[in-house]
Structure 1
């Protein structure tokens, strides 16, 4: 797992998110750290499809109910009502992040910087929202969610 944030960081500059799989069991963690122009997300999540690319998004609601397939997390976080996807004419939106690769051991280990969000309570703030891992890679075009498939792991940003 990732190391603790630098001691100079305060609680308002960091957040944690515990991932829960479709079975309701804990399967990973993310540490989020506020930067000057966005948020760094460091994560490690197990029990994912080995050797596959998967979509990674911020979702609008801070609920991760595995009984409902994590649908409780709502749609993608999109405060500016932009189109979904890095390849969309009027995209991307704040919840869009690059696809991530899951190793042959079924573990996703990544560091992602999202310059379109903040940890604060501003319009683009994500504390209290959810991080989501989907079953397929995002095609970066299809509306509203990139044809990313089923929701495999969800984490509320605390």
Structure 2
């Protein structure tokens, strides 16, 4: 089996929040990346917006330093089955304890090469669910966790 590129992000809570965890990105080739997120400290039985943001900078207390959604192709914000930012991902769904363990497949992004390269960008979890309609970012509320994506 080929050794495909991989990256990881360790998410830390923003000021006053408790969300944290790990997100792995496994480049499957052909513009597909498998994302595996394991997070804790989220609202129980809830959905949270989940995006790759353009800047790999989580230094601001509210993670505003991560900028907007990763969107090198200039698409509108939206769900995976329509025009969308490369950084748009499905909402995270939590269990009764506020934990999420999800696997999703992203199209059009890569780990370590090309215009869709997510390495050096940030992963952000939001307080509210993404509505997949509101522009430019889905009205998903405060940024509650942030981590920089680094090649492994």
Output the TM-score relative to the length of structure 1: 0.86
Alignment correspondent of 2:123 = 131
Partner residue of 1:116 out of 94, 108, 119 = 108
Distance 1:144 1:99, change over 3 A: same
Alignment correspondent of 1:4 = none
Distance 1:25 1:56, change over 3 A: closer
Matched, 1:63 2:57: yes
Unaligned runs of 5+ in 2: none
Preserved contact between residue 60 and residue 73 of structure 1 (Cα < 8 Å):
yes
Output the TM-score relative to the length of structure 2: 0.89
Deviation of 1:34 after TM superposition, in Å, equals 0.5
Deviation of 1:133 after TM superposition, in Å, equals 0.7
Deviation of 1:132 after TM superposition, in Å, equals 1.0
RMSD over equivalenced CA pairs, Å: 2.2
Distance 1:26 1:9 in 2: 31
Alignment correspondent of 2:39 = 45
Unaligned runs of 5+ in 1: 1-6
Alignment correspondent of 2:74 = 81
Distance 1:157 1:123 in 2: 16
Matched, 1:35 2:33: no
Q: How many residues align?
A: 148
